[in-house]
Amino acid sequence: MKLCIAEKPSVARDIAKVLGATMPKQGYMEGNGYCVTWTFGHLCTLKEPHDYGPQYKSWNLFLLPIIPKNFGIKLIPNKGVENQFKVIERLVAECDEVINCGDAGQEGELIQRWVLQKAKCDKPVQRLWISSLTEEAIKEGFQKLKPAEDYKNLYLAGNARAIGDWLLGINATRLFTKKFGGNKAVLSIGRVQTPTLAMLVQRQKEIDAFSTEEYWELKTKYRDVIFNAAIDRLKTLERAEKGLEYLKVNPFEIVSFEIKEGKEKNPRLFDLTGLQVEANKKYGYSADHTLQYIQSLYEKKHVTYPRVDTTYLSESLYPKIGGILQSMVIYKDLISPLLEQPIPKSKSVFDDAKVTDHHAIIPTEIPPTQNLSREEKLIYDLIAKRFIAVFYPECKISNTLVEAKVGTIPFKTSGRQILEPGWRAVYAKDTKEPSEKDKDEEQTIPNFTAGETGSHEPMIHQGKTSPPKAYTEATLLRAMETAGKQVDDEELREMLKNNGIGRPSTRANIIETLFKRKYIERKKKNLVATQTGIQLIDTIEDEVLKSPELTGEWELKLRKIESGEYEANQFKEELIQMIKELTKKVVDGKAKVFTLHEEKEEVAEKKKREPAVKKELQTWEETQCPKCKTHQLIKGKTAVGCSDYKNCGFKIPFEIFGKKLSEKQLLDLVLKGKTSKLKGFTTHPESLIEGIVSLSPEYSTELL
């Protein structure tokens, strides 16, 4: 009997159907010589400090650093996990061969290896490696099974990452909490979390320290075209007015007129970070939500594996492209021109050297039906149109540069026109009306002749210097991808990915952790470091913990472990040495006072309500459903709802109109029918950003 272990029950069902294992059993499917079972993501985790010795249960500064001689794993303490593991353990003992059908990535490899290790598997193990869950892809994958040994380095890299995060997270968090946190604050430190927070704090300090200055610029209008003086900004109105007087008494003269035709390259296919960036820019979706939507599309077989960091396709995919395009019937008008001739095989799309575990995210040949949410439809549309756009011709443009002068003062202007839209035609209906700034920058330039002169209309433009822009999730994801370097060029960004901090699949979770720890907050689309977050970074003097570049170097070493160029044990030893040095420095150093920053009114209010809230938070099950008034409420992963949900239907999601509600706010909504006035709503259909969430007479939520 061959045992297949998938990462989720839904994936196991897809695989079982293809293999003919259609007989349901307790915790697995059976048939045709196969048993197909599943994990629920992580069944195992690294042991906690107290598992290595009871003395580590309490946080003691002088027991640090905690460095186990050998790292062990244990089952996650959960009845469902324990029951499913018993099923897997029994099947592993009974089978002749195991086929690892986990997610085809580093985390998926780690999850399955830990489970097999815990189950003491000594059977031959094969690896299924697929990029989509379509029937064709699964069949093809089973025809190309590879020995587990081929993926050993992938596991070693994942294991080294987990151990590195444990070593730094456990030791640094206890170290800084006991040294600086007093009795009030747990100071959470993480290998990726802390340098990410440091970037946000640095930007926040730059914004706070910025001093706005007024400036004046000279402009003039000639033949309905605005020209800008090509000189430094003027610091005083007096100088600007003198310049204006000078312009009024001197004629305008064209010095040169140049038109250059050029091409605008097609956009790249999406990797996960690119998709999260685009969804945040266009729809305001958080990185975490975008990951949820794309994961759902993957499991519904509409797109390929999403947790990828490449924007290229393997060359072997080229023969399948025409079939995928033909299947995308809802985009028939956009696809028809492509199918009239051979699909171009561009190196900017197909390049085996740029593809590692998986290729870029593209649609599969199974188009979506009506079973998608609005958000999933929008994410699919982004992926589908990007896939179509890469095969269109480049966009042809003309750039016009005009230089002029008024007396001795040089002027210039520029314009840009689209001659042939090429790939931009795919997005023609998506384009919004340009802003006034865009219209000014993209003004149409008539033909000028060098030497021509004429009257003009000089003017003064007054402006103010702007502080650096706060990070949004889109710009923060890009900064994490490039270890803090500001990079717009796609090719250069591709080169820097190996040194990025975090992995595409983990960055969303890192950002969510910073929110959960209250180190950052969202103000409209901007991410802002809180006073607690700023003080934490100020408390950490060691640059190793805060530096995106150094963390990027660790990421590069982890990638080298994957490719067999670096030893996992060496990576672990380097981290152990760093933690020993850090511990000594902090323990011997002078303690600071860390104060949790809260407004006085908030603190007073918190003290008043704390006992009652604590009691309520511990007894959701004792809280009566406000709709049926019969059953109690239960708390799920994404919502609080009636325990008799099938009949009653009452449910309140944790997130409403893009804002996550706290436990207190959810309780207010259930017990009082409304919350206090809240801010931070980002996805309300009428663009409301603040208001009171209340229960309607139909027991749905609305914003007043």
- Residues involved in catalysis: 305
Question: Residue 557: CA atoms inside 13 Å, Cβ hemisphere, count?
Answer: 18
Q: Rounded CA gap, 26 and 287, in Å?
A: 36
End-to-end CA distance of the chain: 60
Q: Rounded CA gap, 1 and 35, in Å?
A: 7
CB 390 within 8 A of CB 268: yes
CB 73 within 8 A of CB 118: yes
b/e code 544-554 from CB counts within 10 Å (16+ = b) = bbbbbeebbeb
**Token pair belonging to 479:** 């900064």
Burial (CB count <10 Å: 0-12, 13-18, 19+), residue 573: exposed
* Helix residue ranges per DSSP H, 95-184: 106-118, 135-143, 152-180
List of residues 6+ apart from 475 with CB closer than 8 A: 469
Which of 89, 195, 115 has the alpha carbon at shortest distance from 482?
A: 195
Bond from prior residue into 65 cis (ω within 30 degrees of 0): yes
30 DSSP β-pair partners: 23, 35
Q: Rounded CA gap, 493 and 43, in Å?
A: 36
* Helix residue ranges per DSSP H, 22-151: 49-52, 79-94, 106-118, 135-143
CA 477 distance to own-chain centroid: 6
* Residue 655 CB coordination number (10 Å): 15
Which of 189, 170, 204, 274 has the alpha carbon at shortest distance from 500?
A: 274
For the chain, what's the residue count?
A: 704
* Residue 257 CB coordination number (10 Å): 18
